[in-house]
Structure 1
Amino acid sequence: MSERRDAAPDEDPARHVPAEPEQTSNGDEPETTAAIGTEDVLDAEPVPTVATEPPLGGKRARRSPWNRPRDRVFAAAIVVAVAVTGVVIGVNSDNAATVAQVAATVPPALPLAPAEVPGSLTELWRAPSSATPVPIGEANSVVTADKGEVLGRDPLTGAVRWRYARDLELCTVALAGIKVDAVYRKETGCSEVTQLDTGTGRRTAQRNGDAELGTRLVVDGSHVTTTGKKLLNTWRDDLVKSMEYGEVPAVVQPNKQPRSGCTYGTVAAASGKIGVIERCPGDPADRFTVYRATNDEADEPKVDYSTVLAGKNAKVVAMSGDLALIVLPEQKLLVIYGADGVQKSAYPLDLPAADIAQDPVGGIMATAWTAQGVYWFTGSKTMAFSRDDLTPRWTLNNAVGPGVTFGDQLVVPIQGGLAVLDEMTGTTIRTVGVDRRGYSGPVRLASVGPVLLEQRGTTLAALK
């Protein structure tokens, strides 16, 4: 689907409970102090009667041509036809199928996370959230997303504070800074995007785009990139498109893209740059390309470098600054590339072949970041890397997801619970049991205040 507009303001007359104030032109919504359901009547001076002159300087006015009965009937028919047309359009429009219920106030502050992970954790609540690959906890709120509905919840109770729903299926939802980007499916792609304030659910931006089915969002600072096999789209944090890479739907000028006929594997981003594994006709192996998130023209990528790798089925695990960490399954190597596209170092990789045989769903490797490290869940192990230079640190066997910090400690999900680890050495400090009610698949973690969040497949669980 071709691009129709960038970061369109909120124009739809969606049903708001409570009602949303009108947005400004940049998508922000001004605060209002008027109470819902009340009327503010101002006292005013009486309007003086203004003397009027007879029309046409005292001459008798010309008789209106619409004074005859048949003319008035005809005019009334036009009004009715226009009104009916408006109702039909409204009932069948996307706007009529949107429900937006915003929070009346910002959520209250939460207690701080404990300095040390508690010795036991109890499930507070759980909810369906099939559209969030990773738990979303931000602004003293938790966001769940399922089917066509995005909900802001109280982290401690799970109570719904705000709701945004459409009669479309969600493709994916991700946290981008302090906002939530919700991508909806329409027709053959994931083309409808709404940005919501995490704390209140107020819409801050909307756009139409060209993301493919199965897309995921790669978030890097002030940019978000949609993954895909043929096309990558990058938006600014206000959802204005800043770059297209690949098969652009509506080509204005040809030959602006660096190559044609390629398909894309995994995608990563850092420091305003996007890295992608390409599989292109004529190349003997996979290609790794790094390009800028912005340029003067959004359909003309500025490529920093593009290099053919040593093997096929490669994957970009993570990027940090000018560095990129690449997996070469055929060579059983982890390779670090520098800003010039030249290999800086390589490390042996000891993983089951099944862990890296296929590209991950959505084209994003299962990684998590802390202030000190990068953690990659391979499918059977969690590997730790330095955040600064991406060099390997340690590996934890029998993990079920990457690690995050909770309070001041690193926690990694394992079968039956959590492992609390020394972040630099990987030494296990202790383990904490968690009852996942029979679920044994991958687990993604996040936290908000004293609450630890677990994404277990299509379900989100809150622990404390």
Structure 2
Amino acid sequence: HTESDAAEKAAPTVPAATAIPDRLVAGWHARSSATRIPALGDAVVVTGDGGDVVAHDPFTGHEVWSYRRDLALCTTDAVWPGSSDSVLAVYRNSRGCSEVTALDGKTGRRTAARSSDADNTLHLVSDSGYVVAQGPTRLETWGSNLVRGIEYGRVDAPVNPDVQPGRANCRLFSSAISGDRVAVIEHCGEEPGYRLTVLGALLNSEEKVTEYGSSLLTIDTLQAPPVLVAMNSSTISIYDAGSTNPGSPTPPRIRLFNQDGVPGSTHDVKGERTPRADSVPIDDDPVVTYWTGQATVVLDAGTGRPKYQVPGTLGPGALMDRQLLLPSPSGISVRDVETGREIRTIALTRTDFRGGTVSLRVIGQVVVEQRGDMIEAFVPAP
């Protein structure tokens, strides 16, 4: 019940752009309900829908390779570009989003597989070494060979019952990973507020999950759960939409914590009180961008600190030729990455755009947007 149509030869890596096109036009579009932001490998744009994972030529949209199963696709993502350049396809069976296949990003050939207990929904978050597969009640970390590092949260029939930290009945909302540590925002049992917990990405020498720190973020759960925006070797950045509690109101802000979860500085930003479910941070070194519903906040990827915010945008963006591209109502705003100063605007006509979050990423000179369950690629005008 699987159809794998691999490429005969590896697709060539797309070189980084050395200039931003004067004009961009709609090149192609495809349905992709299994991605949250554009999934970009070294050579292809990956879409997922139904049971199909398809790798497209960025410039033409033509199918480079495909992988299809008779199961529902939970999520797919391109991970570890520049090294193993893999695509992960996660399918749902009777055990949840359980069946995982790793595919070579340039050919579509299968390289690894795994299966384990999982939730019915799943998000993937990765850095250069590991992936976090997080559902609402449990998460796992995987290496590039798909061997599990840790499992956290709901664990059915644990072999060693004392492996996990002591909290129970936790609901997980967002996660991030950097190096050997994982951060997760959760709400556990009868606790009053949302909690930040920092874990080791691998079991320690005693085969237990290491907890580096855990502390409550809020005094209640009347507000929306905070969102993990960025994580690096020293800092965790969280979007806290704030509280309208008459006794202690707080504005939307970016809150910084160290890698043990100890709180640091806070930075007020423009933002909605309920974070958009389809707003996902985009890490494009040296910056991370996050859309608050009212502005794109640009953070320094090395320090986690907000550099500036750009109101009136439609979503997070990415770099092309060392300049920042942000989706705007009129098209693409090209900005100086250090200061946020607008340099120019590239007009775009988006296909069937009816509002909502626009997540923008770049491969070569092609701008790829995800809007809802649609991927659309804009290519240099002839």
Q: Taking structure 2 as the reference length, what is the TM-score of the superposition?
A: 0.89
In 1, Cα distance between equivalents of 2:205 and 2:187: 25
From the superposition, tell whether residues 112 and 383 of structure 1 become closer, same or farther in structure 2 (CA, over 3 Å).
closer
Percent identity among equivalent residues? 35
- Aligned CA-pair RMSD: 2.0
Alignment of 1:227-238 (within 5 A): 227-238=134-145
Amino acid at match of 1:278: E
- Asked if the contact 1:108–1:140 (Cα under 8 Å) also holds between the matched residues in 2, the reply is yes
The match for 2:203 is 295
In 2, Cα distance between equivalents of 1:438 and 1:390: 35
The match for 1:414 is 328
Query: Shift of the alpha carbon at 1:210?
Result: 2.3
Query: Shift of the alpha carbon at 1:371?
Result: 2.2
In 1, Cα distance between equivalents of 2:312 and 2:236: 26
Alignment of 1:421-436 (within 5 A): 421-436=335-350
The match for 1:384 is 298
Q: 1:189 aligns with which of 73, 91, 96?
A: 96
- 2:8 matches 1:104: yes
Which structure dedicates a bigger proportion of its chain to helix? Answer: 1
The match for 2:284 is 370
Alignment of 1:4-403 (within 5 A): 97-108=1-12, 110=14, 112-115=16-19, 117-177=20-80, 178-187=85-94, 189-258=96-165, 259-296=167-204, 300-312=208-220, 313-328=225-240, 329-330=242-243, 331-332=250-251, 333-354=253-274, 356=275, 360=277, 366-403=280-317
Alignment of 1:421-460 (within 5 A): 421-439=335-353, 440-460=355-375
Q: Taking structure 1 as the reference length, what is the TM-score of the superposition?
A: 0.74
* Secondary structure at 1:170 match in 2: strand
In 1, Cα distance between equivalents of 2:284 and 2:206: 32
In 1, Cα distance between equivalents of 2:65 and 2:271: 43
From the superposition, tell whether residues 206 and 459 of structure 1 become closer, same or farther in structure 2 (CA, over 3 Å).
same
Amino acid at match of 1:158: G
In 2, Cα distance between equivalents of 1:314 and 1:205: 34
The answer for unaligned runs of 5 or more in structure 1 is 1-96
- Asked if the contact 2:21–2:365 (Cα under 8 Å) also holds between the matched residues in 1, the reply is no
Query: Shift of the alpha carbon at 1:102?
Result: 0.9
From the superposition, tell whether residues 265 and 403 of structure 1 become closer, same or farther in structure 2 (CA, over 3 Å).
same
- Asked if the contact 1:244–1:298 (Cα under 8 Å) also holds between the matched residues in 2, the reply is no
Q: How many positions carry a matched residue from both structures?
A: 361
Which structure dedicates a bigger proportion of its chain to strand? Answer: 2
Amino acid at match of 1:280: C
From the superposition, tell whether residues 458 and 298 of structure 1 become closer, same or farther in structure 2 (CA, over 3 Å).
farther
Amino acid at match of 1:102: A
From the superposition, tell whether residues 297 and 190 of structure 1 become closer, same or farther in structure 2 (CA, over 3 Å).
farther
Deviations 1:342-372 (A, max 9, x none): 2221222432324x3x7x36xxx61112222
The match for 2:247 is none
From the superposition, tell whether residues 266 and 379 of structure 1 become closer, same or farther in structure 2 (CA, over 3 Å).
same
In 2, Cα distance between equivalents of 1:398 and 1:166: 41
In 2, Cα distance between equivalents of 1:126 and 1:147: 16
In 2, Cα distance between equivalents of 1:338 and 1:108: 40
From the superposition, tell whether residues 111 and 351 of structure 1 become closer, same or farther in structure 2 (CA, over 3 Å).
closer
Amino acid at match of 1:413: P
- Asked if the contact 1:257–1:299 (Cα under 8 Å) also holds between the matched residues in 2, the reply is no
The answer for unaligned runs of 5 or more in structure 2 is 244-249
In 2, Cα distance between equivalents of 1:346 and 1:315: 14
In 1, Cα distance between equivalents of 2:212 and 2:193: 20
